[in-house]
Chains A and B, each alone.
Chain A
Amino acid sequence: GEDVEQSLFLSVREGDSSVINCTYTDSSSTYLYWYKQEPGAGLQLLTYIFSNMDMKQDQRLTVLLNKKDKHLSLRIADTQTGDSAIYFCAPGTGGFKTIFGAGTRLFVKA
């Protein structure tokens, strides 16, 4: 079956880097997404990587993909208090089913 695992909590100091890790089981995933959910708000796409890439950089965000090990990570450089949110790893098949992990709650201490 399809499964997505991520650590539930991460706490960092403002200005440090945050790294959120994820493992998934569905090898047919063509897109690996990261969604962000702020308190009382809906989920928003943060970034994504296509399955034939191993790295993508987007301003403060770096996504690393190890397709062989089905391991995905999201690095946030210079983490700010406004980055405090829940981050969901979500493997998908580009327009079809997208599966979400339980989410990693990022706490940023000033």
Chain B
Amino acid sequence: DAGVTQSPTHLIKTRGQQVTLRCSPKSGHDTVSWYQQALGQGPQFIFQYYEEEERQRGNFPDRFSGHQYPNYSSELNVNALLLGDSALYLCASSLGGANTGELFFGEGSRLTVL
């Protein structure tokens, strides 16, 4: 049973560029959450997708957008990259509906903005 997979694992971009990160949830999971983890910090909640809709959003600007496909996989898009966007981007999947809310994390995509 494959867990949460993310791609790419590492990437380097320059300021002003755009990036797309991808996530496949754990088998059977229908909810995907995205987090940004800066070096030495805890994960910061970006948003959560459920039934192809953004269900919850953290304090991130509109430059951060996402999408969820019918197969529950998800993308995170970041436009107009800033140096401060350099971080590890974590995808976590879970079951929608009322449950314990356990998040299963991928190993992340490390983005470096130069």
A residues within 8 Å of B by Cβ?
A: 4, 31, 33, 35, 41-45, 48, 88, 92-103
Contact = CB atoms under 8 A, between A and B. Distances in A.
A31 B100 contact: yes
Interface string B24-58: 00000001010100001111110010000001101
Contacts of A94: 98-101
Given A31-B100, A102-B41, A102-B42, A95 B94 contact: yes
B100 A48 contact: yes
Contacts of B41: 102-103
B106 interface: yes
Nearest to A40: B107
Closest 4 CB pairs of A and B: A42-B105, A100-B42, A94-B101, A95-B101
A31 B92 CA distance: 17
Interface of B: 4, 31, 33, 35, 40-45, 48, 55-56, 58, 90, 92, 94-108
Given A96-B56, A100-B45, A103-B41, 9 more contacts: A31-B100, A33-B101, A41-B107, A42-B107, A94-B100, A95-B95, A95-B100, A100-B44, A102-B40
B54 to A, nearest CB: 12
17 contacts: A43-B90, A45-B103, A45-B104, A93-B101, A94-B100, A95-B95, A95-B96, A95-B99, A96-B48, A96-B56, A97-B48, A98-B33, A98-B45, A98-B103, A100-B42, A100-B45, A102-B40
A4 B41 CA distance: 12
A44 B105 contact: yes
Looking at A42, A45, A48, A103, the one whose CB has the most chain B CB atoms below 10 A away is: A42
A1 B38 CA distance: 20
B55 A43 contact: no
Contacts of A102: 40-42
B43 A95 contact: no
